[in-house]
Structure 1
Amino acid sequence: MGYTNMRHCLEDLEARGDLVRISTEVDPYLEAGAIQRRVFQNKGPALLFTNVKNTTFPMAGNVFGTMQRARYIFRDTLDTLDRLFKLKIDPLLFFKAPWKYLDVLPMLARTMPKRVSQGPISRGETTIERLPQLVSWPMDGGAYVTLPQVYSENPARPGIMQSNLGMYRVQLTGNDFRTNREVGLHYQIHRGIGYHHKLALEAGEPLRVNVFVGGPPAMTLAAVMPLPENVPEVVFAGSLGGHRIKMVQAANGLPMPAEADFCISGRIVPGRELPEGPFGDHLGYYSLRHDFPVLRVEKVHHRVDAVWPFTTVGRPPQEDTVFGDLIHELTAQLIPTVFSGVREVHAVDAAGVHPLLLAVGRESYVPFARQRQPQELLTNAMNLLGQSQTSLAKYLVIAALEDDPGLSARHIPRFLQHVLQRMDFARDLHFITRTTMDTLDYSGISLNQGSKLIMAAAGEVKRRLGMKLPRDLPLGEFSRPRFMAPGIMAVQGPRSTQERDTHDPEVEKLGERLNNAPGMQEFPLVVVVDDSDFVTRCWDNFLWAVFTRSDPATDTYGMGAFVHCKHWGAEKGIVIDARLKTYHPPVLEPDPQVEKRVDELGARGGPLYRII
């Protein structure tokens, strides 16, 4: 059976030597987050801070910091979930080998939450300002909950079966929030709580919301699972945790997990939105201040032995990378059942997840054609952009599995080489302009608005990719050309001064010059960057800088660009302007003094000696 609460999980990790207690006083302002990130980067243990400044509650960090530890936490149910998903794909498997699936039915019986009259969460009450005030990055607008489980129900059809549980960030202090009475609730587009909020606004009523922190680890993972709309996350948590989630009533009348560590219970007030942010986010930049809903706090419940789990996000990889990898393991086999014709998808973590989606699909529309080209792949791509979290993809690159049955979207260098060899840049670029995009991505033309680009490749190899840069390139004011990979070149540009939603004429001219340069037919992808040495140092740098700092429609230029009947294409290849723009938010940078204090904890005799 899985863990029923966070404390049992932490005690078990400590018993197996996979948790370190830190009794030295730790400041939740910058220091706790810096420690957690450093330990994560070193693949270190879970952390329990027992002496946290300005609060009586201990904090737990890096609990899900490695795949090995995450698999261990859910070890009792992962195999059964795998068999359950296989049955969904092929129900006849049960009749072929029923003995392999005997534990699936008991698991299904454990999925439904169980209402109880009381539980540990009901025994304590505190205030917002007494909670750990975690501030992860120097420019953050206040203290945040970074592992929240935000629970809401359909106000027209209340009940757990019409509920949504999501991980939407919660700002506890700062800005114009009334101390102890209000917190900021930032939810992005395409989130389940948005529909509940819409119904409440239409009815002119507050929306009841509970924010759970801690409790069964399965609840934390369920909050970030991309589940179908008709599957409540609390129900999935029962399957993942191996037990029915016990629920008691919170101050606002909604349920809360009986074994949760904390629950902030309240209502979203109609018509009261306040600035939330800045916040150092998972793309590696600050998301800025914007008006978001306000949760009016009615009560902060807690258990008497409560622990405050936390994480910090920033430029990938971070602890949330592990969540993504675990979700991929759980759901990879379901992809063809959700997206017909798609074998594999990979939301690239190093690029910030949503900015870059790679996919392998089927191309079988015209199997007798003498010259194969993307057709079914485009249907597959539109399907991906029309459903669930894949709809937030900004660059979608899709290739045909028939061209290479061993091709995998997880092997990025080989995948991109395969695509660049086969793409027809005059035909296979498809833009969707002025559409919705990820709230956290500031490369577009406004908040929540930008463009998307589908790049599709099918058929025979069309070009040889260069392994050595051409000489005497006509770069003009651009300089320092660097080889990244076969067919990919980076050049360094002057600092961008372009306003939002405008083209840079100098990059347009660069594309024209490169189109006429000898040897450029072997380099169909050129990226303009602020530091070509940094970008070409490793794939993580390349993926992060190129795809988080560019908007497809605004920042894509052509080597031999043309427009025909509203279709944009290029003769030899494309140039992507991936420089930081005047309207981009600041890059996350740690506080040097805090980093020095963390260094001291890792010195000989310190609690993190030989860990960081």
Structure 2
Amino acid sequence: KFPAVSNLFGTLERSKFMFRDSLAKVEQLVALRSDPIKALKNPLKYSSSALTALSALPLKQSLFKNTFEKTTISALPQIVNWPMDGGPFVTMPQVFTEDIDKPGVMNSNLGMYRIQLAGNDYIADKEIGLHYQIHRGIGVHQTKANAKGQPLKVSIFVGGPPSHPLAAVMPLPEGLSELTFAGALGNRRFRYFYDEEGFCISADADFVITGTVYPQENKPEGPFGDHLGYYSLTHPFPLMKVHNVYHKKDAIWSFTVVGRPPQEDTSFGALIHEITGSAIPQEISGLKEVNAVDAAGVHPLLFAIGSERYTPYLKDRKPQEILTIANHILGKNQLSLAKYLFIAAREDNEKLSTNHIQEFLQHMLERIDLKKDLHFHTNTTID
């Protein structure tokens, strides 16, 4: 019934072409949010960033209500990527929730968490599975709703402008909402309205699924063919009770294939690094650069270069500041999903780059002392 499209972000060149008119402005906006002092140091250079943010604020427009029709979960494209998947999944969703204590889109979270549409114990057309991991804003919202004994309202957007799914995966600095970022990157404000049941609807999405998540209501979700070439197994995750499924007249279903890299999310990662690459070192003192290695599946492996300045009065340097930096990295937004972190001191080689993987590994292996340079964080939840 509905056509589907994949690989919109198939190459970095294609992704940059889609945002060719806004990319530079957005990079400047993210940099300014990470280091507001820049505006004081160079007011002329950054004067346009404030205008970019203001012109990108979400816009409530009820006139779009009549552009949506209703359908059912089973009428949506039932795409199963891998033979042992537990059922069809939404792999390019934008999952929207609001803070129950501070309702409104400016205190919302927009994230990309896979959605299982059918299979396992889900009641057809009435229940779907909502999978999200730690370090996600939706978890904060559900915790607050649970504390009040109230259901969490969830809206799942699929399709729409390419800036919207990209905003859902961006590790943004505090104070910059995903909806504002989507508006800035797409050169058009994020337009929305609320339906009769009080669910937020993205006016530009192709599809919107609305529903509620009740406290302590979980069902088995998965298996799911994951980024590293193996399956995430079946585990209990929040159950979402479906209220409505909306679609535009000529809606196109967006999806991506998740599997061993390189995949479409390789381009996602490269574009994210291009936009935020300078922001993270500004937020972590002493950090020169960090690279989430795509060939390892992005999250599992990080390369980093930091400074070693704690004891300049000693002849022989030993790892001190870079250990502080390493712990900061492992506690920073989605970087904290890393399983392995290799960090080098920039003073050993000023030309070293984390993007040159072979050279970086050679640098590390030539210097590592396995008796004292390995540090373990155990008995903790990472992913």
Q: Under a length normalisation based on structure 2, what TM-score does the superposition of the two structures give? A: 0.96
Q: In the alignment, does 2:244 pair up with 1:296?
A: no
Secondary structure at the residue paired with 1:313? coil
Q: 1:338 is aligned with what amino acid?
A: E
Measure, in 2, the Cα distance between the counterparts of 1:86 and 1:340. 15
Q: 1:125 is matched with which residue?
A: 70
Q: 1:72 is aligned with what amino acid?
A: F
Secondary structure at the residue paired with 1:419? helix
Measure, in 1, the Cα distance between the counterparts of 2:362 and 2:250. 54
Q: 2:274 is aligned with what amino acid?
A: E
Q: 2:297 is aligned with what amino acid?
A: G
Measure, in 2, the Cα distance between the counterparts of 1:252 and 1:68. 41
Secondary structure at the residue paired with 1:239? helix
Q: 1:219 is matched with which residue?
A: 164
Q: 2:128 is matched with which residue?
A: 183
Measure, in 2, the Cα distance between the counterparts of 1:85 and 1:209. 27
Q: 1:483 is matched with which residue?
A: none
Q: 1:576 is matched with which residue?
A: none
Measure, in 2, the Cα distance between the counterparts of 1:80 and 1:355. 31
Measure, in 2, the Cα distance between the counterparts of 1:287 and 1:348. 20
Measure, in 2, the Cα distance between the counterparts of 1:121 and 1:435. 49
Structure 2 CA distance for partners of 1:86 and 1:169, relative to 1, 3 Å: closer
Q: How many angstroms does 1:257 deviate by?
A: 1.3
Q: 1:308 is aligned with what amino acid?
A: W
Say which one has the larger Rg.
1
Q: In the alignment, does 2:193 pair up with 1:248?
A: yes
Contact 2:29 2:53 in 1 (8 A): no
Q: How many angstroms does 1:229 deviate by?
A: 4.6
Contact 2:146 2:214 in 1 (8 A): no
Measure, in 1, the Cα distance between the counterparts of 2:358 and 2:197. 51
Q: 1:556 is matched with which residue?
A: none
Q: 2:202 is matched with which residue?
A: 257
Secondary structure at the residue paired with 1:435? coil
Q: Percent identity?
A: 53
Secondary structure at the residue paired with 2:133? coil
Q: 1:356 is matched with which residue?
A: 301
Task: For residues 331-378 of structure 1, give each alpha carbon's deviation from its aligned partner in whole angstroms, at most 9, with x where no partner exists.
Answer: 111122111111100111111122211100010000121111110000
Match of 1:91 among 39, 52, 63: 39
Task: For residues 125-149 of structure 1, give each alpha carbon's deviation from its aligned partner in whole angstroms, at most 9, with x where no partner exists.
Answer: 1000000001000111111111000
1:282-361 map, 5 Å:
282-361=227-306
Task: For residues 304-351 of structure 1, give each alpha carbon's deviation from its aligned partner in whole angstroms, at most 9, with x where no partner exists.
Answer: 111101111101110011100000000111122111111100111111
Q: 1:236 is matched with which residue?
A: 181
Measure, in 2, the Cα distance between the counterparts of 1:214 and 1:85. 24
Of structures 1 and 2, the one scoring higher in RCO (CA 8 A, sep 6+) is 2
Contact 2:6 2:255 in 1 (8 A): yes
Q: How many angstroms does 1:160 deviate by?
A: 1.0
Secondary structure at the residue paired with 2:378? strand
Structure 1 unaligned regions, length at least 5: 1-55, 439-612
Measure, in 2, the Cα distance between the counterparts of 1:112 and 1:396. 37
Contact 1:149 1:212 in 2 (8 A): yes
Task: For residues 249-284 of structure 1, give each alpha carbon's deviation from its aligned partner in whole angstroms, at most 9, with x where no partner exists.
Answer: 135413221111000011012232110111111121
Q: In the alignment, does 2:372 pair up with 1:424?
A: no
Contact 1:206 1:269 in 2 (8 A): yes
Measure, in 1, the Cα distance between the counterparts of 2:208 and 2:91. 14
Contact 1:121 1:262 in 2 (8 A): no
Q: How many angstroms does 1:424 deviate by?
A: 2.2
Q: 1:501 is matched with which residue?
A: none
Secondary structure at the residue paired with 1:432? coil
Q: How many angstroms does 1:120 deviate by?
A: 6.4
Secondary structure at the residue paired with 2:62? coil
How big is the alpha-carbon RMSD for the aligned residues of Structure 1 and Structure 2? 1.5
Q: 1:77 is matched with which residue?
A: 22
Secondary structure at the residue paired with 2:377? strand
Q: 1:166 is aligned with what amino acid?
A: G
Measure, in 2, the Cα distance between the counterparts of 1:347 and 1:302. 36
Structure 2 CA distance for partners of 1:122 and 1:208, relative to 1, 3 Å: farther
Structure 2 CA distance for partners of 1:252 and 1:217, relative to 1, 3 Å: farther
Measure, in 2, the Cα distance between the counterparts of 1:251 and 1:419. 59
Q: How many angstroms does 1:428 deviate by?
A: 1.4
Q: 1:24 is matched with which residue?
A: none
Secondary structure at the residue paired with 1:431? coil
Mean CA deviation greater in 336-345 or 142-151: 336-345
Secondary structure at the residue paired with 1:295? strand
Q: In the alignment, does 2:356 pair up with 1:411?
A: yes
Match of 2:315 among 352, 370, 377: 370
Structure 1 stretches of at least 4 aligned residues deviating more than 6 Å after TM superposition = none
Match of 2:79 among 131, 134, 147: 134
Mean CA deviation greater in 340-349 or 229-238: 229-238
Match of 1:145 among 70, 79, 90: 90
Task: For residues 40-80 of structure 1, give each alpha carbon's deviation from its aligned partner in whole angstroms, at most 9, with x where no partner exists.
Answer: xxxxxxxxxxxxxxxx1111111110111100111111011
Measure, in 2, the Cα distance between the counterparts of 1:411 and 1:268. 44
Measure, in 2, the Cα distance between the counterparts of 1:251 and 1:186. 26
Secondary structure at the residue paired with 1:223? helix
Task: For residues 540-568 of structure 1, give each alpha carbon's deviation from its aligned partner in whole angstroms, at most 9, with x where no partner exists.
Answer: xxxxxxxxxxxxxxxxxxxxxxxxxxxxx
Contact 2:31 2:276 in 1 (8 A): no
Measure, in 2, the Cα distance between the counterparts of 1:277 and 1:119. 35
Contact 1:275 1:290 in 2 (8 A): yes
Match of 1:270 among 210, 215, 224: 215
Match of 2:344 among 384, 387, 399: 399
Q: Under a length normalisation based on structure 1, what TM-score does the superposition of the two structures give? A: 0.60
Structure 2 CA distance for partners of 1:228 and 1:103, relative to 1, 3 Å: closer
Measure, in 1, the Cα distance between the counterparts of 2:374 and 2:307. 18
- Would you say how many aligned residue pairs link Structure 1 and Structure 2? 380
Contact 1:141 1:277 in 2 (8 A): yes
Q: 2:114 is matched with which residue?
A: 169
Q: 1:295 is aligned with what amino acid?
A: M
